[in-house]
Amino acid sequence: MTEYSCIRTETQGRVATITLHRPEALNALNSTLVRELIGAALAFDADSGIGAIVITGSEKAFAAGADIKEMAELGYSDMYLGGPFPGWGGFERMRTPLIAAVSGFALGGGCELAMMCDIIIAADTAKFGQPEINLGILPGFGGSQRLPRAIGKYKAAEMVLTGRMMDAEEAERSGLVSRVVPAAELLAEAAQTAETIASKSLPAVYAAKEALQVAQETPLSEGLRFERQAFAAAFATEDQAEGMRAFAEKRPPEFTHR
């Protein structure tokens, strides 16, 4: 069992949960937290016994951004060489679906971490923002690219250029979150969603997640070509045969993830 100082991990059946835990700093993402988060997430990703991962924080903060105190003394070369936060590339290439369960502040790197996930479930207390502009910098974990893709150019520009926060209701209306739930139900709802995903065929889930990612990154024609191949490949799996047989026999499928 790996010992962590800034996160907590837990598994229940095929679902893993990673809880950011730096209560003294509203879960600000320092180098230790980021290293532990990425390490834990990649280890779960490599485990075919895990079918979905929930990432969450505390009631007050999912994460209030990159750790400003740690970054304050760094210069260009420090940041360009990877700074205190190398390794996001591997995190972004993970195949296991990630569900961000967001309560309280998701600011700067916290908002960007949520946007690296596949599904964002927000408590009605959630607040999203990219306040880097107030610090004389700009988003650095993908915010200037993912936010306009999620909510459109004009809302994203207002948030990135003014640092304004969005509450959960506005975030849902804007397409930034999948769903808003009462704060007291956040973890149960996220766990339920994760369990639902983890009960499906793992090869089909990996392929579906990859196809959704391709949709963010390529022109439609290329995405459709990818989907056609991935769809055909699904017919090489045992789970496809089982899923369709179970439908015909009017029973739940028993996927073996093969």
Among 7, 33, 38, 66, binds ligand CAA (CB under 6 A): 66
Q: CA 57, CA 32: separation in Å to the nearest integer?
A: 16
* Choices 3-11, 41-49, 103-111, 214-222; region in contact with ligand CAA by CB under 6 A: 103-111
Written as six digits, the tokens of 173 are 């209306």
From residue 114, give the alpha-carbon distance in Å to each of 147, 149, 176, 232.
11, 14, 10, 32
* Choices 93-101, 139-147, 166-174, 187-195; region in contact with ligand CAA by CB under 6 A: 139-147
Q: CA 161, CA 59: separation in Å to the nearest integer?
A: 27
Our finding on whether 253 is near ligand CAA (CB under 6 A) is no
* Choices 46-54, 128-136, 178-186, 209-217; region in contact with ligand CAA by CB under 6 A: 128-136
46 is catalytic: no
Written as six digits, the tokens of 209 are 């997640």
Given the residues 112, 126, 190, 191, the one annotated as active site: 112
* Choices 60-68, 150-158, 203-211, 221-229; region in contact with ligand CAA by CB under 6 A: 60-68
Our finding on whether 105 is near ligand CAA (CB under 6 A) is yes
Measured between its terminal Cα atoms, the distance across the chain in Å is: 28
**Strand 15-20 with 52-56, pairing:** parallel
Our finding on whether 28 is near ligand CAA (CB under 6 A) is yes
172 is catalytic: no
Q: CA 182, CA 180: separation in Å to the nearest integer?
A: 7
From residue 194, give the alpha-carbon distance in Å to each of 123, 161, 231.
16, 34, 23
Nearest distance from C-beta of residue 232 to ligand CAA, angstroms:
40
90 is catalytic: no
Our finding on whether 20 is near ligand CAA (CB under 6 A) is no
112 is catalytic: yes
Given the residues 65, 83, 108, 109, the one annotated as active site: 109
Q: CA 24, CA 234: separation in Å to the nearest integer?
A: 47
Written as six digits, the tokens of 197 are 């995903």
User: Which residues are the active-site residues?
Assistant: 66, 109, 112, 132
Question: What are the residues binding ligand CAA (CB under 6 A)?
Answer: 25-26, 28, 64-69, 105, 107-109, 112, 131-132, 135, 139-141, 143
